[in-house]
Chains A and B, each alone.
Chain A
């Protein structure tokens, strides 16, 4: 079970949260080609490494935020607000 640092509430258990998939995805406009739109709907990155992803503190403050998480070790390298850009990650994470 992960212990997740909500930017608003502090560290809480994973079961207070809901995972929201890959973050920093730009929603295409109505003029998007079929390929771009299908990519937006169905394709996501699947890194063996650091992933920037959305989380919702469903049983807490109810706010969405972002995490940088290593998908193999589950180490959480950063937590930042929804809408903020990807933060620089220190190498001293290991």
Chain B
């Protein structure tokens, strides 16, 4: 069933002709061989049109054989995975693979989008900045969004497994071509820990398809021996099918490893986060296209890639191939094609003459060389059928005479190699321009990074190997290993010169492509220059050249060359745009590596979590903590549950888990002094056994936390913070101690997670605790409000603080977290006769609101200072500096018309306050907001709507009526004392 592959050569190639592979492309069933890429198999089958260009929807063919591919971009379905925007040149052929072109309607062979090409004069660069304005952009938005883009996201869950790995090494070698192999050998032999990374599945780089000789033996022999030696060296680690995507500060590199993507049932992708003492970049070079009329037709390819298709894949790009070049390397393509029996109408060389050896070889082979000539145009609907060749004038600035048309079905073009300096530049390496290469080469890096081989602008094989060896040896020596650089013998043959012409002068510039991927032509660059976008960074963004998925690998150099020419500057004066990661695509999944859903952030659970879960708790996230908002009995609505819990605390006893409350031990002779500098209150006068409610401010005078501090001994305090602030305030205290007052003798220790806190609150709370075995006297006169006792309760060591957030008699019992669950259950049983209820957060917030207790972050914002919440009197009695005090002395901080904390009650019983509603000043035309409601609830205790708010001049406006504005509705409310319930505190102190 072997189908005919019309462009497969009868022999040769690194493919396995005994293993045919069936696949389909745009609905056509085709056959290739094991060892093919999707691109080589398509070429072998004579598939010419593989895609449509982004803007004009022109038919396009395969351009290259590597990562620089701009045209052969498919959605690839392998049965395991469906991935859009896959470069066919990097996709290994797999049985059953389905490839689809996605940006063509209805299909790649006939695309309605081509109308944009026929009207291309209307769509120059940046046309969208000048059009689609009237009547409104949104009229056009739908159509534009629908037609933009090059692929569709796959639906359904992603079957890929993602992992992240860390790697440390002495010498990291990026690229396993000749330079990289030589570097890895030299470093590996020294005993250094070496990691060698290669993006292909096989080591060798250009040695795999360019043959040649090394030290008199075939290059393939050397390559195989090097690969074997490295595989057998214990201190060398090899990663293949792995692409280094980014190079960061301090020699940290990131690589994406797809070596497990094929084969297994589930595709696997790995991210390597690598830290290397020394880096050797052997990243090679990328051949640049030539710029001439209609240089984008199917069949026009990079010359080195044409050669690679013959030698690595046994595929002919065509039956009659014209070679166009400005350098010697493309001649090797001509020789290889001729040896494969392919017709060669001409070699079009923009230079007068190639270097001697190459010119002589061409002559010997009887090839037709047209010197001092350039291709100026091409024709052919579905693929190139003729090319026009013109002769350059004396100064190389124009084409003289009439063009000669040559028949062909493929054009192999070469503008010379551009070193792949992306990673090097990301590492901070500088570049310089080499006139003889007409390209940028590395020129010194401040990090421990070396470049070797083609990436360094070295083009002859012997030079490449020598450089690689030197770099690897030097890197190993810098790590402290003795390395010898073996002399491989430099070839004295000069590098084949690269002519400076890449852009054929004259012709219709709107049909001369610079960026195939984003359909940017020379005319677009001319337009940018006319509109004064002459900085290379502006050129990039205005024309979008180099901004597509290929990131300008085959367009940036030509674009800035054209720009240089148009603005009368040299290429180095124009410069390059900034190189940023990533060099090759990285899946979002690889970056997240499975930290999604419940693994997105750590969940903190309460000590008695299992009991809460088993008893109707409705959990919500409060910061990282999962806490019960309320406990719903069977059939009970949420609000009813909250109301029931509030009333239970008011009339019986409630049990609440308050474990997330921050607890910080402060111990040392200077503990009191330290806390006095942090708190607004005077903490030094607190007696041992006492508790004081305190406020902490930022240096700007803004309230950042409130909480209680208990004094256990003269040198020992227990600071408690609000639940959401535990970690932050611990850090805050440490920062002040370590950075500002290190001379103060004290130690800070956060014990938030060590002590669980169970709060018992209500008129029957004391009864419950007194009924337990304890050495603590819970009676009212022995244990007054705002004091702390330590001892044992039901056999467990406890610290009991009599503090109240609810306004009832309340005991916060801190006990070792491991004992909490059992204690909770015991108290629920013991309190059953007294009507005990489990209490959730929402009920607690209502209880504290009824008492007018502050909730920092709800009732305060980033502008609320200590005066605004009524701490003026306390501050007046405090002597000495504390954090934020100087700020409170500023005139603006002491103004009487600031927003101050007040209580609010609607005048009508039917109206309800809502947090966020504004308090409106109505007088005259100046209708504006004077403040807003900060907390609100319908109180089940008082059976009315109550709220707190921040209101300008609030302290002096008690009894006044204000207008509440909530989402279009207005109603009246009265300003009242924020303490709605038990204003004398009798229940609190009972």
Chain A residues with a Cβ under 8 A of chain B: 1-3, 13, 20, 27-30, 32, 34, 37, 40-41, 54, 56, 58, 62-64, 73-75, 82-83, 94
Interface assignment of B428: CB less than 8 Å from any CB of chain A = yes
Min CB distance B223 to A, Å, is 35
Q: Is the CB of B739 within 8 A of A30?
A: no
Q: Scan B877-896; emit 1 where CB is below 8 A from any A CB, else 0.
A: 00001000111011000000
Bound Cα distance from A41 to B782, whole angstroms: 47
Q: Is the CB of B446 within 8 A of A75?
A: yes
Enumerate 12 A-B pairs (CB-CB under 8 Å) in ascending A order.
A29-B881, A30-B885, A37-B887, A41-B887, A54-B739, A62-B734, A63-B738, A64-B739, A74-B249, A74-B250, A82-B739, A82-B742
Q: Which residues of B contact A1 (CB under 8 A)?
A: 248-250, 252
The 7 closest A-B pairs by CB, nearest first: A3-B250, A64-B738, A74-B249, A1-B252, A64-B739, A37-B886, A30-B881
Q: Which residues of A contact B250 (CB under 8 A)?
A: 1-3, 74
Within 8 A of A (CB), among B889-935: 889-890
Q: Is the CB of A30 within 8 A of B886?
A: yes
**Chain B residue at minimum C-beta to C-beta distance from A3:** B250
Bound Cα distance from A64 to B734, whole angstroms: 9
Q: Is the CB of B886 within 8 A of A28?
A: yes
Q: Is the CB of A2 within 8 A of B249?
A: yes
Q: Which residues of A contact B58 (CB under 8 A)?
A: none
Q: Is the CB of B890 within 8 A of A34?
A: yes
Interface assignment of B735: CB less than 8 Å from any CB of chain A = yes
Give how many B residues have a beta carbon under 8 Å from the other chain's beta carbons. Answer: 23
Q: Which residues of A contact B738 (CB under 8 A)?
A: 63-64, 82
Known: A30-B881, A62-B734, A64-B735. A41 touches B700 (CB 8 A): yes
**Chain B residue at minimum C-beta to C-beta distance from A34:** B890
Not counting A30-B881, A56-B731, A82-B742, a sample of 6 additional A-B residue pairs whose C-beta atoms are within 8 angstroms of each other reads A3-B275, A30-B886, A37-B886, A82-B738, A82-B739, A94-B446
Q: Which residues of B contact A82 (CB under 8 A)?
A: 738-739, 742
Bound Cα distance from A52 to B446, whole angstroms: 20
Q: Is the CB of B742 within 8 A of A83?
A: yes
Q: Which residues of B contact A56 (CB under 8 A)?
A: 731, 735
Q: Which residues of B contact A28 (CB under 8 A)?
A: 886
Q: Which residues of A contact B890 (CB under 8 A)?
A: 34, 37
Give chain A's interface secondary structure class: loop
Known: A41-B699, A41-B887, A62-B734. A27 touches B252 (CB 8 A): no
Q: Is the CB of A32 within 8 A of B735?
A: no
Bound Cα distance from A75 to B249, whole angstroms: 8
Q: Scan B857-889; emit 1 where CB is below 8 A from any A CB, else 0.
A: 000000000000000000000000100011101
Q: Which residues of B contact A3 (CB under 8 A)?
A: 249-252, 275
Q: Is the CB of A73 within 8 A of B428?
A: yes
Min CB distance A65 to B, Å, is 9
Interface assignment of B740: CB less than 8 Å from any CB of chain A = yes
Q: Which residues of A contact B446 (CB under 8 A)?
A: 73, 75, 94
Q: Which residues of B contact A32 (CB under 8 A)?
A: 886
Min CB distance A9 to B, Å, is 15
Q: Which residues of A contact B252 (CB under 8 A)?
A: 1, 3, 13
Within 8 A of A (CB), among B210-261: 248-252
Min CB distance A14 to B, Å, is 8
Q: Which residues of A contact B699 (CB under 8 A)?
A: 40-41
Bound Cα distance from A83 to B737, whole angstroms: 11
Min CB distance B427 to A, Å, is 11
Q: Which residues of A contact B731 (CB under 8 A)?
A: 56, 58
Determine which residue in B275, B699, B885, B886 has the highest number of CB atoms from chain A within 10 A of its CB, and name it. B886
Bound Cα distance from A56 to B275, whole angstroms: 22
Min CB distance A84 to B, Å, is 11
Q: Which residues of B contact A13 (CB under 8 A)?
A: 252, 275
Min CB distance B467 to A, Å, is 24
Determine which residue in B249, B251, B252, B885 has the highest number of CB atoms from chain A within 10 A of its CB, and name it. B249
Q: Scan B275-294; emit 1 where CB is below 8 A from any A CB, else 0.
A: 10000000000000000000
Bound Cα distance from A63 to B735, whole angstroms: 9
Bound Cα distance from A40 to B699, whole angstroms: 10
Known: A32-B886, A73-B428. A27 touches B249 (CB 8 A): no
Bound Cα distance from A78 to B738, whole angstroms: 19
Bound Cα distance from A82 to B890, whole angstroms: 31
Q: Which residues of B contact A74 (CB under 8 A)?
A: 249-250
Determine which residue in B252, B428, B731, B738 has the highest number of CB atoms from chain A within 10 A of its CB, and name it. B738
